[in-house]
Amino acid sequence: MYYKIDLNNYKPKEVLEYHTYNDFVFSVDVLGRLEEELDNFKDSFGKPWKEWDIPELTHRLENNYTFYLISTDEEIKGWAFTDWNKKYPYLCNRYVVPEYRKRGLGSELVWLRCNEVVKLGYKSASIKLENWNTPALSVKKENIFIEIKEI
């Protein structure tokens, strides 16, 4: 299901430290770790999803997407994108590395992008939350999500 996120009364949340990329300037170390994680990336059904690779990431960054990365010096924990080409900024492709799931990182990835959207002056964003994905649906407790037909 697609949702419009009403950010008119949203109070930015404190979130984990993260890195934001609007162009492809990664350190060699981060790039190597990211490439390794992308090689192992599985879709929501546990199948390899080969569309995710460094060229795809580069293409998105060249086409008005922002990439958000939660990582430490040693490990990548998760990432997400915002697509700025839609009616509302579209919070897309949230991913948490399996060993870091069930710790709230998925929600953090939603809130850090909402914070950014508000900071840039938008009052709405959009997101797709699958009904079967119970952890992803947990963000709806904030009561700022309005179901819409399409983005």
- The string of pLDDT tens digits covering residues 108-126 is 999 999 999 999 999 999 9
Whole-number pLDDT of residue 131: 86
Number of domain units in the chain? 1
Nearest to 101 by CA among 82, 77, 70: 77
Q: Tens of pLDDT along 72-89?
A: 767 888 889 999 998 889
Whole-number pLDDT of residue 93: 85
Whether 75 and 40 have beta carbons less than 8 Å apart is answered as no
Whether 148 and 2 have beta carbons less than 8 Å apart is answered as yes
Question: What is the Cα–Cα distance from 80 to 40, expressed in whole angstroms?
Answer: 16
Domain of residue 61 covers 2-148
Question: What is the Cα–Cα distance from 123 to 26, expressed in whole angstroms?
Answer: 30
| 93: CATH | 3.40.630.30
Whole-number pLDDT of residue 3: 94
> Could you tell me which residues come within 8 angstroms of residue 55 by beta carbon, excluding any fewer than 6 positions away?
none
Q: Tens of pLDDT along 29-75?
A: 666 777 777 766 666 556 666 666 777 777 888 899 998 988 876 78
Whole-number pLDDT of residue 27: 57
Percent of the chain with pLDDT over 90: 34
What is the average pLDDT value for the chain, to the nearest integer? 84
